[in-house]
C-alpha cells in the first residue's frame, strides 16, 4: 500500500519513537499530554477560586460531586486505556491495517458507552443518595451534576480520540487543541461570573467546561476522519470485531475495576469524613488534593505517555528500549516530585489563604491536611511510572490490584483506625492518604523493578534484535 506524504510523515514519527533518543522522545511526547492534564487541573483550580471569591456556591459540593462524576468516568477512561494499548502495540509492530481496525473498534465502542452515560441524568438524585450524598449538596448542585454528566458523554469520546493520537505519538495536535480549550473555558467562566449575569451558580461553571470540551470533540472528529490520518476512522469501518473487542475489553476491564473501586472508595471516604468531621473537612481534602495535583498531574502524564512508548516498543520487539523508557521516566519523575514537594511545602500557607480568604479555621484545616499529602507526591509519582510499565505490557490486572490495595488495604482501614480507635481529629484524613500513597508507591516500584530485571527471561523475543540504544 502506497502512503501519502502526510502518512509517510506519521510513519517517520513512528520511527522516531522506536529509534530516537529516549530522553528527548519521552519529553517530546509527554509535554503536550502534560499540558492537556494541566488544562483539566486548571479548570478545577479556577472553578474553586471563583466559587470561593464570588460566593456562588460551596467548594465542598463541587468536591463531592466531582468524585462521583470521576467514578462514572472510569468506564470511558478504562476503554481509552485498553484501546490505546491495543492500537499502540500494533502500530509499533508496523501492522497498520490491524491498528486501523482496532482504532475503529475503539471509536465504535466509545460512542456507545458515551450514549449510555446519559442514563445518569434521569436517575441523578436517587443515584447521589445511594452514596449518602448530603441533601443540601443535592439541592444546591444537582444542575452542576447534570451538566457534568453531559460533559462526560463528550469526554468519553475525547478520551478515545486522544488515545488514538497518543498511540501514534502525535501529541502536538493535542497541545494546540488544548490551548483553544483552556481559552474557551476560562473566557466563558469569567464572562459568566463577572459579566452582566445575575444569579450565577456552579451550573454555569459546568456549562463553560462542556462548551470547551465540545470544541475539543469536534476538532478530534476532524483529526480522526480526515483522509491523511494513517489510522483513519470511517463510518463504513465501524465494527465490533469479536477478537479485537475481546482484546480491548480484556485490558480495559481490570483498569475499569481498579479505577472504579478507587473512585468509589474516595466517595466513601468523603461520606464518612463528612459524617465525622463535617463538610468543611471534605472541602479541605478536595483543595489539598487539588494543590498536590499540580505535580501529580505531571507524573500521571509521564506514566500515560510512558505506557504508550512501552507498548510501541513491545510491539517492535525492542526490549532494551522498554527498560530504558522505565528508567528515564523514573529520573524525570524524581526530579519533578522533589522540586514540587519543596515548592508546595514552602507555599502551603499562602495557598490555603488564597483558597479560603478570611477564614482562619478553614485555612488551618487545609494546611494541616495538605502537609501530609505534600509528603506523598513522590511516592504517588513513582507508582504512576511503575504502573506505566505494567500497562505497556497489557498487565492491567496487576495495576488493578495495586489500585485496590492502595484504597482498601492501606487507606480506608488506616482512616477508620485513626477515627474510631485513636479518636484523632480531621488530620486523620491527611495521614491516611500519606500512608496509602507511600506504601503502595514503594510496593509498585519494587514490583516494577523485579519485573524489569526478569524481562529477558520472561520475554526473550524482545531482545533478539539487539537494538542499540541511542
Q: Render pLDDT for 131-159 as a digit per residue (tens, 0 to 9).
A: 777 788 888 888 989 999 999 999 999 98
pLDDT of residue 465: 60
Q: Collapsing DSSP states into helix, strand and coil, what is residue 201?
A: coil
Alpha-carbon gap, residue 126 to 133, rounded angstroms: 10
Half-sphere exposure of 333 (CA within 13 A, CB side): 30
Grid coordinates given for 206: 459546568
Q: DSSP character for 4?
A: P
Res. 76: pLDDT tops 90: no
pLDDT of 92 > 90? The answer is no
Q: Which whole number is the average pLDDT over 443-469?
A: 82
- In eight-state DSSP terms, residue 198 is S
Cα distance between the two ends of the chain = 30
Q: Which of 63-72, 81-90, 116-125, 332-341 has the lowest mean pLDDT?
A: 63-72
Give the containing element (helix H, strand E) for 253.
helix 242-277
Whether the per-residue pLDDT at 52 is higher than 70: the answer is: no
Residue 283 or 238, more confident: 283
Q: Residue 249's pLDDT is what?
A: 83
Q: What are residue 265's phi and psi, to 5 degrees? A: -65, -35
pLDDT at 38 over 50: yes
Instruction: Note the pLDDT of residue 467.
Output: 42
- pLDDT of residue 49 exceeding 90: no
The answer to whether 178 and 39 have CB atoms below 8 angstroms apart is: yes
What pLDDT is stored for residue 468 in this prediction? 42
- 440 with 405: CB under 8 angstroms? yes
User: If you average pLDDT over residues 391-417, what whole number do you get?
Assistant: 89
Higher pLDDT, 51 or 234: 234
- % of the chain at pLDDT higher than 90: 24
Mean per-residue pLDDT of the chain: 84
Higher pLDDT: 140 or 60? It is 140
> Percent of the chain scored above 70 by pLDDT?
93
- Output 179 or 188, whichever has higher pLDDT: 188
pLDDT for the residue 218: 93
Query: What are the domain boundaries of the chain?
Result: 13-459
Task: Please state at what angle helix 319-355 crosses helix 427-453, rounded to 10 degrees.
Answer: 170
Confidence band, pLDDT 50/70/90 cuts, at residue 2: low
440 pLDDT tier (thresholds 50, 70, 90): very high
Residue with cell 446519559: 118
Instruction: Tell me which of 30-39, 181-190, 383-392 is least confident.
Output: 30-39
Out of 288-297, 394-403, 413-422, 429-438, pick the least confident: 288-297
Q: pLDDT grade, residue 470 (50/70/90)?
A: very low
Highest mean pLDDT among 1-10, 212-221, 461-470: 212-221
Residues 6+ apart with CB under 8 A from 19: 467, 470
Higher local confidence (pLDDT), 268 or 233: 233
What's residue 469's pLDDT? 42
Flag the least confident range among 27-36, 99-108, 218-227: 27-36
93: helix, strand or coil: coil
Whether 25 shows a pLDDT value over 80: the answer reads yes
Q: What are the C-alpha distances in Å from 364 to residues 39, 247, 311, 358, 371?
A: 28, 49, 45, 11, 11
The pLDDT value given to residue 5: 62
For the record, the C-alpha cell of 340 comes out as 514540587
Q: What is the mean pLDDT of residues 414-435?
A: 91
Sole residue written with cell 494541616: 368
- Report the pLDDT value the prediction gives residue 330, as an integer from 0 to 100: 95
Highest mean pLDDT of the ranges 59-63, 301-305, 388-392 = 388-392
Mean pLDDT of 35-57: 71
Q: Please, are residues 17 and 316 in contact by the beta-carbon 8 Å criterion? A: no
pLDDT for 59: 66
Evaluate if residue 375 carries a pLDDT over 60.
yes
Amino acid at each position: 500500500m502506497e502512503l501519502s506524504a502526510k502518512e509517510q510523515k506519521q510513519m517517520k514519527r513512528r520511527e522516531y519513537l522506536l529509534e530516537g533518543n529516549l530522553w528527548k522522545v519521552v519529553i517530546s511526547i509527554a509535554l503536550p499530554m502534560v499540558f492537556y492534564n494541566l488544562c483539566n487541573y486548571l479548570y478545577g483550580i479556577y472553578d474553586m477560586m471563583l466559587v470561593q471569591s464570588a460566593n456562588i456556591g460551596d467548594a465542598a459540593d463541587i468536591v463531592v460531586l466531582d468524585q462521583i462524576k470521576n467514578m462514572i468516568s472510569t468506564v470511558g477512561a478504562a476503554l481509552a486505556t485498553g484501546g490505546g494499548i491495543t492500537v499502540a502495540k500494533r502500530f509499533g509492530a508496523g501492522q497498520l491495517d490491524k491498528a486501523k481496525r482496532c482504532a475503529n473498534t475503539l471509536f465504535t465502542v466509545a460512542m456507545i458507552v458515551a450514549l449510555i452515560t446519559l442514563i445518569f441524568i434521569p436517575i441523578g438524585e436517587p443515584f447521589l443518595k445511594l452514596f449518602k450524598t448530603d441533601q443540601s449538596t443535592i439541592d444546591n448542585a444537582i444542575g452542576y451534576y447534570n451538566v457534568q454528566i453531559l460533559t462526560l458523554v463528550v469526554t468519553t469520546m475525547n478520551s478515545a480520540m486522544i488515545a488514538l493520537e497518543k498511540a501514534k505519538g502525535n501529541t502536538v495536535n493535542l497541545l494546540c487543541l488544548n490551548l483553544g480549550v483552556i481559552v474557551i473555558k476560562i473566557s466563558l467562566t469569567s464572562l459568566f461570573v463577572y459579566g452582566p449575569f445575575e444569579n450565577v451558580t456552579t451550573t454555569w461553571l459546568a456549562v463553560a467546561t462542556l462548551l470547551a470540551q465540545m470544541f475539543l470533540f469536534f476538532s478530534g472528529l476532524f483529526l480522526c476522519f480526515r483522509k491523511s490520518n494513517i489510522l483513519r476512522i470511517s463510518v463504513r469501518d465501524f465494527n465490533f470485531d469479536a477478537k479485537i473487542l475481546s482484546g480491548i475489553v480484556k485490558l480495559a476491564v481490570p483498569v475499569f475495576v481498579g479505577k472504579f473501586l478507587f473512585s468509589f472508595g474516595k466517595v466513601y471516604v468523603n461520606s464518612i469524613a463528612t459524617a465525622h468531621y463535617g463538610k468543611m473537612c471534605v472541602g479541605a481534602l478536595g483543595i489539598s488534593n487539588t494543590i498536590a495535583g499540580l505535580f501529580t498531574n505531571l507524573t500521571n502524564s509521564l506514566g500515560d505517555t510512558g505506557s504508550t512508548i512501552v507498548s510501541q516498543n513491545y510491539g517492535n520487539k525492542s526490549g532494551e528500549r522498554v527498560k530504558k523508557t522505565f528508567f528515564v521516566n523514573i529520573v524525570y519523575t524524581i526530579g519533578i516530585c522533589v522540586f514540587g514537594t519543596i515548592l508546595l511545602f514552602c507555599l502551603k500557607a499562602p495557598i490555603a489563604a488564597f483558597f479560603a480568604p478570611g477564614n482562619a479555621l478553614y485555612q488551618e484545616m487545609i494546611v494541616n491536611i495538605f502537609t501530609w499529602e505534600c509528603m506523598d507526591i513522590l511516592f504517588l509519582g513513582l507508582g504512576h511510572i511503575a504502573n506505566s510499565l505494567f500497562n505497556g505490557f497489557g498487565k492491567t490486572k496487576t495495576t488493578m490490584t495495586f489500585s485496590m490495595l492502595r484504597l482498601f488495604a492501606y487507606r480506608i482501614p488506616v482512616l477508620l483506625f485513626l477515627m474510631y480507635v485513636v479518636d484523632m481529629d480531621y488530620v486523620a484524613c491527611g495521614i491516611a492518604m500519606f500512608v496509602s500513597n507511600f506504601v503502595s508507591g514503594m510496593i509498585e516500584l519494587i514490583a516494577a523493578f523485579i519485573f524489569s530485571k526478569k524481562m529477558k527471561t520472561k520475554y526473550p523475543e524482545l531482545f533478539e534484535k539487539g537494538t542499540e540504544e541511542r
